[in-house]
């Protein structure tokens, strides 16, 4: 009843406010799925809910913010538990010229969260204490291989020593971003060295016997804490850092400690990189921040951003979220994967254009190294797979182990393999002397976390979610035990390291080509509609896209594919010819129309069956010139029709 009411209410609003029914129905579908997913919304009609009695206005704000995103709709940062304590402690640190260190994760979320907070605190310092400017705000990022994920004691010691050496101050405030919620022991260690700790994290809070286990920080900012009143639960680490920034500015102005208002909006160029890279739900506060972030990114004066754009070959000023995801963030990520993540923070916080130029070069060299390591690992896995019958076994977990794969790239490679083979993949590498590191990726609706949880007894560390997991296990007995257990669980007719999945998992979603269910596309349209400007306007207005705000997908039936060309990605030439360094360009036209107009289309070569349908074998042989298909499912990609699937 309530659900129906909400649906009818949203429908009424959207169809009356938008003059285009396609737009209204696409947006309705997105908003319904977002609200369905959102825990804040789930009991909106109950008496205890904060918006009880105002559900209609809440819904209409939600729609308004979707159609015209506005920063005024952002939630109040002081609703995050402990925000007042965090702000008070940082204010004291600024006023008393304490040495403050931001400690962030080595991924793009952590790097951007650190960069934002470092730059913003330095700006505040410049306004409030010009003499101490640059002499009190430091940062530290752990090394993926040496230190591992999270807060560790060694890097804390290192930064303490280096601050002492360079400034003669003692570190007295540590602010973690994008990590820390599970690091109870390390936070206590910092406390024992007279360092106060503020935690800004968005990862799940550990629970034991129904009780949350929190590190002993001065403030623990995490909207996922029990009883936290911040309505939006899916901010990434950089989003929480940004909320801390808003709260801090508000507090300082209120206390009369700031006379001019530093512009926080200008930092959204950095913030949106982290939001996009962390693959968090793209609605609510995340979408609002990204919407403005992309605008700022386009005109950004920040030397680091300018240099980043240059090494990415971006000379246009309509950067969208897919440019960020495919061009910009992989370069930042490479620093944390195979180089030094602190170089990326140096770049993003850099004010000197010349220094920024050099740092960008360094980032580019990390990225080249990452490509090389990735290609080597990927080609090795393909060699291991050749000769094995894998195509029929979509849905089964594939485990491959190597000894020389770089731990920084096995996640990327397992995700490529999972997509190509349409099955979940776990890659294990024996990189450190005694420990194997593993990275698993799922495909379709298979819950790889639940699957691997069955083997948790073999793992030293294990964490992740439905789509991706990371783990470590001891060489020797644990590794052998794990592989043996996997073998025991596999059906007798499958090859060495495969486990058959639970029947409750949705295998169908893993089959690449077949009859599409309604869920595979949003609207069925005709080819003629593609020439309509309205369609591209709608597509633009629903962006930025991301999880829970997916790009609209369309179905067109009875299509002929022609002029098919195999192309290679520039800069991606590895010695071996494999699917991942090629894509296809082609024309499409209506099959039953003598005067058909041709439309340009393209297709990435991510599924094994793409090659077969297009008539290419092993990516090399020349295609048949015309292929008729029952239909195509596609989305738009930089003005192109990007074919996702055939029917
Ligand atoms: Mn994160």
Least confident of 239-243, 441-445, 606-610: 606-610
Q: Which two tokens stand for residue 89?
A: 């402690």
H/E stretch holding 417: helix 410-421
pLDDT score recorded for residue 579: 62
CB atoms within 10 A of CB 283: 24
Residue 177 clears pLDDT 90, i.e. is over it: yes
Q: Which two tokens stand for residue 467?
A: 């789509």
- 115-124: pLDDT as tens digits: 999 999 999 9
> Helices in 96-236 by DSSP H: which ranges?
108-128, 153-167, 184-192
Range with the largest mean pLDDT of 50-54, 77-81, 336-340, 595-599: 77-81
Residue 145 CA to residue 339 CA, distance in Å, equals 10
Using 50, 70 and 90 to split pLDDT, how confident is the model at 509?
very low
- DSSP letter, residue 419: H
Q: What angle do CA 40, 46, 52 make, to 5 degrees?
A: 75
From the CA of 238, how far away is ligand 1's center (Å)?
Answer: 8
From the CA of 178, how far away is ligand 1's center (Å)?
Answer: 5
pLDDT score recorded for residue 388: 61
From the CA of 274, how far away is ligand 1's center (Å)?
Answer: 8
Residues of the chain with CATH 2.40.50: 523-646
Using 50, 70 and 90 to split pLDDT, how confident is the model at 499?
very low
Check if the beta carbon of residue 497 is closer than 8 Å to that of residue 400. Answer: yes
Q: Of 418, 435, 459, 372, which Cα lies nearest the Cα of 427? A: 418
From the CA of 237, how far away is ligand 1's center (Å)?
Answer: 5
pLDDT score recorded for residue 391: 43
pLDDT score recorded for residue 504: 38
Of 528 and 226, the structure prediction assigns the larger pLDDT to 226
From the CA of 388, how far away is ligand 1's center (Å)?
Answer: 37
Q: Of 273, 324, 2, 6, which Cα lies nearest the Cα of 114? A: 273
Integer angstrom CA distances of residue 619 from 300, 415, 576: 40, 20, 11
H/E stretch holding 220: strand 219-221
- Report the DSSP beta bridge partners of residue 646: 632
pLDDT score recorded for residue 572: 53
From the CA of 270, how far away is ligand 1's center (Å)?
Answer: 14
From the CA of 482, how far away is ligand 1's center (Å)?
Answer: 29
From the CA of 125, how far away is ligand 1's center (Å)?
Answer: 27
CATH annotation of 78-298: 3.90.1640.30
- Non-local (6+) Cβ contacts of 346 within 8 A are 355, 359
From the CA of 278, how far away is ligand 1's center (Å)?
Answer: 6
Helix H, strand E, coil C: the string for 575-609 is: CCCCHHHEEEEEEEEECCCCCCCCEEEEEECCCHH
Of all residues in the chain, the percent with pLDDT exceeding 90 is: 58
Strands of 391-488 (E only): list them: 397-402, 425-429, 435-441, 461-464, 468-474
From the CA of 440, how far away is ligand 1's center (Å)?
Answer: 18
Residue 346 clears pLDDT 70, i.e. is over it: yes
- 562-580: pLDDT as tens digits: 888 888 776 555 555 566 6
pLDDT score recorded for residue 260: 83
Residue 501 clears pLDDT 90, i.e. is over it: no
Of 347 and 384, the structure prediction assigns the larger pLDDT to 347
- 444-461: pLDDT as tens digits: 778 888 889 889 999 988
Q: Of 435, 395, 402, 401, which Cα lies nearest the Cα of 418? A: 395
Residue 559 clears pLDDT 50, i.e. is over it: yes
Residue 240 CA to residue 223 CA, distance in Å, equals 8
**Domain 387-501 top-level CATH class:** alpha beta
Using 50, 70 and 90 to split pLDDT, how confident is the model at 607?
low
From the CA of 327, how far away is ligand 1's center (Å)?
Answer: 19
From the CA of 256, how far away is ligand 1's center (Å)?
Answer: 34
Q: Of 411, 381, 632, 368, which Cα lies nearest the Cα of 525? A: 632
From the CA of 148, how far away is ligand 1's center (Å)?
Answer: 15
Residue 617 clears pLDDT 70, i.e. is over it: no
- DSSP letter, residue 501: P
H/E stretch holding 440: strand 435-441
Integer angstrom CA distances of residue 426 from 179, 302, 442: 24, 39, 9
Three-class secondary structure of residue 77 per DSSP = helix
Residue 214 clears pLDDT 90, i.e. is over it: yes
The stretch 551-558 carries a mean pLDDT of: 93
From the CA of 239, how far away is ligand 1's center (Å)?
Answer: 9
Q: Of 211, 151, 207, 206, which Cα lies nearest the Cα of 175? A: 151
Determine the angle formed by the axes of helices 268-277 and 237-254, rounding to 10 degrees: 150
H/E stretch holding 25: helix 21-37
Backbone φ, ψ for residue 237 (5° rounding): -55, -45
Integer angstrom CA distances of residue 562 from 196, 371, 645: 65, 33, 16
Residues of the chain with CATH 3.90.1640.30: 78-298
Residue 152 clears pLDDT 70, i.e. is over it: yes
Residue 153 clears pLDDT 50, i.e. is over it: yes
Residue 393 clears pLDDT 70, i.e. is over it: no
Check if the beta carbon of residue 177 is closer than 8 Å to that of residue 103. Answer: yes
Integer angstrom CA distances of residue 440 from 52, 148, 186, 548: 42, 17, 27, 22
- 227-238: pLDDT as tens digits: 999 999 999 999
From the CA of 290, how far away is ligand 1's center (Å)?
Answer: 15
pLDDT score recorded for residue 250: 96
Three-class secondary structure of residue 5 per DSSP = helix
Least confident of 138-147, 154-163, 314-323, 415-424: 415-424
From the CA of 240, how far away is ligand 1's center (Å)?
Answer: 10
Residue 606 class from Cβ within 10 Å (0-12 exposed, 13-18 middle, 19+ buried)? middle
The stretch 339-348 carries a mean pLDDT of: 97
pTM reported for the whole predicted model = 0.89
Of 386 and 394, the structure prediction assigns the larger pLDDT to 386
Residue 510 clears pLDDT 50, i.e. is over it: no
The rounded mean pLDDT for the chain is 87
Of 535 and 76, the structure prediction assigns the larger pLDDT to 76
192: preceding bond cis by omega (within 30 degrees):
no
CATH annotation of 523-646: 2.40.50
Using 50, 70 and 90 to split pLDDT, how confident is the model at 615?
low
Using 50, 70 and 90 to split pLDDT, how confident is the model at 518?
low
Of 147 and 348, the structure prediction assigns the larger pLDDT to 348
Q: Of 159, 206, 215, which Cα lies nearest the Cα of 187? A: 215
Residue 516 clears pLDDT 90, i.e. is over it: no
């Amino acid at each position: 009843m309530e659900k129906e009411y909400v649906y009818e209410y949203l429908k009424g609003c959207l169809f009356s406010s938008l003059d285009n029914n396609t737009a209204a129905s696409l947006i309705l579908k997105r908003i319904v799925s977002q609200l369905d997913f959102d825990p804040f919304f789930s009991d909106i009609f109950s008496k205890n809910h904060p918006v009880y009695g105002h559900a209609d206005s809440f819904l209409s704000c939600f729609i308004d913010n979707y159609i015209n995103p506005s920063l005024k709709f952002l939630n109040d940062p002081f609703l995050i538990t402990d925000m007042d304590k965090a702000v008070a402690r940082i204010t004291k640190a600024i006023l008393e010229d304490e040495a403050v260190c931001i400690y962030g994760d080595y991924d793009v979320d952590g790097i951007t969260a650190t960069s934002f907070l470092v730059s913003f605190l330095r700006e505040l310092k410049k306004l409030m204490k010009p003499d101490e400017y640059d002499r009190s705000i430091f940062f530290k990022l752990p090394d993926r291989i040496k230190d591992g994920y999270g807060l560790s004691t060694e890097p804390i010691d290192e930064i303490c020593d280096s601050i002492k050496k360079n400034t003669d101050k003692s570190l007295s405030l540590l602010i973690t971003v994008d990590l820390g919620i599970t690091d109870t022991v390390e936070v206590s260690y910092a406390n024992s060295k007279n360092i106060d700790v503020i935690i800004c994290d968005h990862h799940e809070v550990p629970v034991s016997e129904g009780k949350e286990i929190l590190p002993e920080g001065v403030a623990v900012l995490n909207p996922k804490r029990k009883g936290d009143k911040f309505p939006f639960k899916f901010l990434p680490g950089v989003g929480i850092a940004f909320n801390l920034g808003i709260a801090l500015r508000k507090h300082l102005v209120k206390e009369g400690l700031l006379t001019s208002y530093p512009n926080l909006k200008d930092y959204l160029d950095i913030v949106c990189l982290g939001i996009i890279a962390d693959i968090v739900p793209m609605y609510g506060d995340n979408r609002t921040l990204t919407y403005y972030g992309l605008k700022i990114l386009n005109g950004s004066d920040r030397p680091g951003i300018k240099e980043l754009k240059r090494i990415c070959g971006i000379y246009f000023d309509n950067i969208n979220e897919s440019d960020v995801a495919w061009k910009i963030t992989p370069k930042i990520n490479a620093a944390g994967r195979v180089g030094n993540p602190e170089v990326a923070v140096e770049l993003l916080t850099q004010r000197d254009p010349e220094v920024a130029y050099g740092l960008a070069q360094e980032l580019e060299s990390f990225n080249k190294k990452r490509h090389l390591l990735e290609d080597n690992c990927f080609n090795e896995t393909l060699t291991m797979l050749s000769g094995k019958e894998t195509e029929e076994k979509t849905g089964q977990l594939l485990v491959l182990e190597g000894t020389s794969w770089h731990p920084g790239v096995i996640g990327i490679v397992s995700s490529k393999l999972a997509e190509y083979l349409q099955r979940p993949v776990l890659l294990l590498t024996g990189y450190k002397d005694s420990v194997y590191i593993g990275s698993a990726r799922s495909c379709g609706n298979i819950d790889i976390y639940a699957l691997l949880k069955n083997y948790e007894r073999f793992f030293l560390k294990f964490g992740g979610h439905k789509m991706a997991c990371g783990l470590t296990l001891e060489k020797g007995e644990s590794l052998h035990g794990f592989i043996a257990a996997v073998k025991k669980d596999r059906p007798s007719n499958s090859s060495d390291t495969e486990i058959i999945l639970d029947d409750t998992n949705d295998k169908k979603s893993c089959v690449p080509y077949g009859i599409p269910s309604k869920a595979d596309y949003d609207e069925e349209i005709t080819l003629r509609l593609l020439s309509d400007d309205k369609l591209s306007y709608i597509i633009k207005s629903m962006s930025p896209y991301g999880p829970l705000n997916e790009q609209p997908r369309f179905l067109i039936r009875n299509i002929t594919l022609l002029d098919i060309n195999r192309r290679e990605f520039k800069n991606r030439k590895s010695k071996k010819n494999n699917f991942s360094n090629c894509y296809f360009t082609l024309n499409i036209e209506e099959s039953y129309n003598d005067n058909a107009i041709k439309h340009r289309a393209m297709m990435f070569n991510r599924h094994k069956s793409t090659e077969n349908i297009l008539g290419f074998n092993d990516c090399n042989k020349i295609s048949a010139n015309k292929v008729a298909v029952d239909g195509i499912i596609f989305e738009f990609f930089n003005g192109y029709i990007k074919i996702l699937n055939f029917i």
